[in-house]
Structure 1
Amino acid sequence: MSSGIRFESVTVAYDGNVVLDALDLAVEPGEVMALLGPSGSGKTTALRAVAGFVRPASGRVYLGERDVTDLPPHRRGIGMVVQQYALFPHMRVEDNVAFGLKARKVAKSEIRARVAEALEMTGMAAYARRHPRELSGGQQQRVAIARALAIRPGVLLLDEPLSALDARLRSGMLAELARLHRELPDVSILYVTHDQVEALTLADRIAVMDRARLQDCGTPHELYRAPKTQFTASFVGNANLLPVTVGEGGVSFGGREVEVGTDGIARGAQATLCVRPHLVGLGSGPNQLTGTVDEIQWRGATHRLYVDVDGHRLMADLRELKAPPAHGDAVTLHFAPEDAVLLPAGGSHD
């Protein structure tokens, strides 16, 4: 069963406090959409509105062509996985996975087949008779995913599903979720996270949330290479954000002329220059900036330099240097004009 998700001007408020403000967003059938943002940005509220756990003050929620705004959660046909797994500790794995099917009064013979299918799909078939306490955190999360998939939902909601796992398990589960998405191409997935790596790795598109509002939406590549706002630039990957004044054929920063495209921004306007740290080079080249090394971090494959340029701290991620500069050294950085993006000053959509 395939169905997308559509928010039409969905607003949610608690005691007069707006926590989701007029959200318009569509998740296409079979698409993975990540809702990315800091705590309090409205992303989990949006997911709960789809699940039916919160009632919008205004606006409508659709699953496919169905208006589900007034439907209770159990009638929406949605699979959901939350951060803390929410498994029943007294039930064996197979009974946890069967729970939603029994609630829907599915025939016993079909329940057995669907439970086996879901456990096989998540690599948990060998653990069917165990209790949750006998499983690792990663295994418990697989069971929670199996339970959500057993009902064969058209929509799967994932609310910070990996945040309780350590880094190694999180990486493995990301790969598993990507594999499941390939095996279930008709299932629409709404994935809530504050982790940019998860969003960039898994999502077809990312909706960036801040202060209860949608700030930006696009493919991971679009948001990384050409963010529309300062908030997106800083939240989706690391970014150097420099205050500049728009001139003719470029911008000025600290009295220096910097070559960059200025399409759509008027001459004399204040703007923000965005350049990613890995696109900043050391030594002479186009758009040179000189400064003093404030800090250097070795990160295995790269060194990250923090360089003070006229009171602004620039980051440069450089492939491992045999003789890295030291704290206090004067250095020259550069970046190509095509690697910089010019953003309006202020940088967020109001």
Structure 2
Amino acid sequence: MGIRLDGVSVSYGGTTVLDSLDLTVEPGEFTALLGPSGSGKTTALRSVAGFVRPDSGRVFLGGRDVTDLPPYSRGIGMVVQSYALFPHMRVDQNVAFGLRAQGVPRREVRTRVGEALELTGMAEYARRHPRELSGGQQQRVAISRALAVRPQVLLLDEPLSALDARLRSEMTTELARLHRDLPDLTVLHVTHDQGEALTLADRVALLERARLREYDTPRNLYDRPRTAFAAGFVGSANLLPGRLDRGSVRFCGLDVDAPDALPSGVADGDDLRVCLRPHRLTLGPSEHTVRGRVTDLSWRGSTHRVTADVDGHSFTAEVPGTAEIPDLGTTVELGFTRRDLVVVPAGEEP
């Protein structure tokens, strides 16, 4: 079952929180809604769930207009950040709750509860209470409960944000496995964690200021963003002012042949932004090289982050932790190739 939002707008007290959102999630696809706080991603999810009714526009599930249907009539499962488990119920009773509310026969309830717990690796904890579980285990129970009703659409509202880094990593792996094991399940996942979005999603919808800015695969959003906002928000980036001049990109005193595929809206003579990912920069000369004074150094375990001032512009490079690192205040050469260059129209940055 696919999801389609057709021109969905939502306002609260005169403030627009979702502005004419057009979004299509194909059946079996895992789509992440990513963006800064207040961008409208949770409102979009709640519109699909039925907890928010759009001021305008329509919501479709599997081609059926569900805009006016209550949540319980939409055939969806939902997992929220707070887990929302009943503390007085055992794990198996929590998972069975939705099935019993639907009037599913007792024997089938036992079967489907067992299947859902097996799917999330929680079968051995069926007789425990939520207070006896870790945060990650409680989240798996919440996912089991959502899957037990056999939804065709699963909505995830920042389900991992309350977990520590280790548990979040483990649960990201579990969600990726579930996506592989349930290829017909359509998933819409709200997150502020870029790592989750890039790891889990088939496509990422990037929202900012109530509007959809880009909708593409994680790889394309990272390697070939089409806007300055996407370039600066997804991953780390050096965003530098430049200009397109007769097929060359001029920036920071350099003249570099323009990338083969220029984004739409960029024409000769236009101001633009040059995106260079820090891990693409090397210490020492390369096909193209800039020189600057080291202004900051930080060790990050497997890498060093080196920041240099190049003619008033800040360049940050991520280099291997084994590399020989220059001292603060010294002059350093930073190199890159034409293939490392991404050009986007000049625009608002995060």
TM-score tier after normalising by the smaller chain length: over 0.9
Distance in 2, matches of 1:260 and 1:242, equals 15
How far off is 1:320 after superposition? 2.0
Q: Is the 8 A contact 1:119 1:146 kept in 2?
A: yes
Is 1:318 the counterpart of 2:319 in the alignment? yes
Q: Which amino acid aligns with 1:342?
A: V
Secondary structure in 1 matching 2:207: strand
Q: Name 2:289's counterpart in structure 1.
A: 288
TM-score by length of 1: 0.96
Which is worse superposed, 132-141 or 260-269?
Answer: 260-269
Q: Which amino acid aligns with 1:93?
A: V
- Measured against aligned partners, the alpha-carbon deviations of 1:260-307 in whole angstroms (never above 9, x if no partner) come to 327452222111001111111111112211111111111122111111
Per-residue deviation, 1:59: 0.4
Q: What is aligned with 1:92? A: 90
- Is there any run of 5+ residues in structure 1 with no aligned partner, and where? none
Q: What SS does the aligned partner of 2:288 have?
A: coil
Match of 2:32 among 17, 31, 34: 34
| Aligned counterparts of 1:69 and 1:282: Cα–Cα separation in 2 | 55
Match of 2:206 in 1: 208
State whether residues 89 and 132 of structure 1, in contact with CA within 8 Å, keep that contact through their aligned partners in structure 2. yes
1:47-106: per-residue Cα shift (whole Å, max 9, x none)? Answer: 000000000000000110111100000111110000110111111111110111111111
- 1:341 paired with 2:342, answer yes
Secondary structure of the structure 2 residue equivalent to 1:317: strand
Aligned-partner Cα distance in 2 for 1:252–1:4: 44
Secondary structure, in 3 states, of the residue corresponding to 1:115?
Answer: helix
TM-score normalized by structure 2?
Answer: 0.96
Aligned 1:75-154 pairs, distance under 5 A: 75-154=73-152
Q: Is the 8 A contact 1:260 1:338 kept in 2?
A: no
1:259/1:287 contact within 8 Å kept: no
1:166 aligns with 2:167: no
**Once structures 1 and 2 are overlaid, which stretch shifts more, 194-203 or 283-292?**
283-292
Q: Distance in 2 between matches of 1:91 and 1:257?
A: 67
User: Offset of 1:42 from its aligned partner?
Assistant: 0.2
Alpha-carbon shift at residue 249 of structure 1 (Å):
2.7
1:322, CA displacement in angstroms? 4.1
Partner SS for 2:322:
coil
CA-CA distance at 1:256 after TM superposition: 2.9
Residue in structure 2 matching 1:182, options 170, 180, 183:
180
Give the CA RMSD over aligned residues: 1.2
Contact 1:228 1:347 in 2 (8 A): no
Q: What do the CA deviations read for 1:171-222 (whole angstroms, capped 9, x no partner)?
A: 1101100111111000000000011000000000000000000000100111
* Cα pair 2:116 2:148 within 8 Å, conserved: yes
Matching residue of 1:11: 9
- Provide the C-alpha distance between the structure 2 equivalents of 1:138 and 1:98, rounded to a whole number of angstroms: 19
Q: Which amino acid aligns with 1:126?
A: E
Runs of 4+ in 1 over 3 A off after TM superposition: none
Alignment match, 1:198: 196
1:304 equivalent to 2:302? Answer no
Aligned to 1:60: 58
Using the TM superposition, give the Cα deviation of residue 129 of structure 1 relative to its aligned residue in structure 2, in angstroms.
1.1
The residue type paired with residue 75 of structure 1 is S
1:244 and 2:245 matched: no
* Superposed displacement of residue 347, structure 1: 4.9
Matched letter for residue 297 of structure 1 = S
